Amino acid sequence: MGRKVPTLRPAVTAMMLVTAAALAAGPSAALPPKPKKPPPAPQVPKGYAASVKAWHAATPGKTAPLDGSGRPRLALYALNTQDRLELDAETARGGFTTESLERAARFLRDPRTGNAFPVEPKLLDTVYQLQVHFGAAELRVVSGYRTPKPGGHSNHGRGRALDFVMPGVSDEDVAKFAREMGFVGVGTYPTSGFVHVDVRDRSYFWVDTSGPGRTRRERGVLGELAAKSDAAARERGERSIGPFVIGTNVDSALASRGHDGDPTSESDDEDEGM
């Protein structure tokens, strides 16, 4: 009595036939590609989405504080420290005294280390113009100065960048207007829920879908618009802020760039790097 020959399952048989056909056809015939796995969804801490929604919610009936002449003051609220700051602007486009810049430097300190750094005057001018344009009561600051890491080149470590939300205004609307200003870095963070604005010598725009505290997932966008915005700024007589220099205080930082705090001097300058 002969041995019973085991039978193969249909799926196994089909796979063997495909493999045999590929071998017979030669190395140029490839097997069906494996399906690509979708990228993992950004990780967000529990409750974070609710926090982001609250950041963006305007306070009913609240408007920007006014100075003695009726001009809106720059109003900042730090989400990490709950500090508030109001500064008088000398013109409709900004312009802040040395004393105001020193107060801003303390306000925008790194909450993790307590370190502070002189604020680039043009940064305050830029965010002030954004606040006034949208008629916002205040800007809610997510991050200002951040103590640089070894070898780091972030504008947060140069006093030239701010992460914030504008209550009652979408991040994309804020970014859209900021991109037209010239000599700025503008990044939107749809998962983390804020806008990044910095000042620099050549505009660059990006979208970063990473979650809070996660590895960057950045891609550059609207490169042609960045070049056009800078060209338009030059035609308006604006200039870039020049190379980054390290100073010990606000006064020396201002002197190093030929700016003595006079509110009538040109205030539309910018920086480099991210």
pLDDT band at 252 (very low <50, low <70, confident <90, very high): low
Instruction: Tell me the whole-structure pTM to 2 decimals.
Output: 0.76
Distance CA 177, CA 129 (A): 10
**Residue 98, exposed/middle/buried by CB under 10 A (0-12, 13-18, 19+)?**
middle
Residue 230 DSSP symbol = H
| pLDDT tens track for 139-191 | 999 999 999 999 889 999 999 999 999 999 999 999 999 999 999 999 999 99
Which of 20-34, 125-139, 260-274 shows the lowest per-residue confidence on average (mean pLDDT)? 260-274
CA angle 98, 133, 84 (to 5 degrees): 50
pLDDT at res. 225: 98
Angle between helices 121-134 and 98-107 (to 10 degrees): 80
Q: Which residue has the tokens 């979408």?
A: 170
Distance CA 125, CA 178 (A): 12
State yes or no: pLDDT of 255 exceeds 80: no
- The radius of gyration of the chain's CA atoms, rounded to the nearest angstrom, is 27
Distance CA 195, CA 207 (A): 10
Q: How far is CA 252 from CA 4, 54, 94, 246, in A?
A: 94, 39, 21, 9
Q: What is the DSSP string of 81-145?
A: T--EEEE--SBTTB---HHHHHHHHHHT--TTT----PPPHHHHHHHHHHHHHHT-S-EEEEE--
pLDDT at res. 253: 47
Residues 6+ apart with CB under 8 A from 202: 183, 226, 230, 240, 272
Distance CA 198, CA 274 (A): 8
pLDDT at res. 44: 80
| pLDDT tens track for 178-235 | 999 999 999 999 999 999 999 999 999 999 999 998 999 999 999 999 999 999 999 9
Residues 6+ apart with CB under 8 A from 157: 117, 145, 146, 147, 148
| pLDDT tens track for 8-67 | 455 545 555 544 555 455 555 556 677 777 666 667 888 999 999 999 999 999 999 999
Q: How far is CA 25 from CA 11, 21, 29, 267, in A?
A: 21, 6, 6, 70
SS3 77: strand
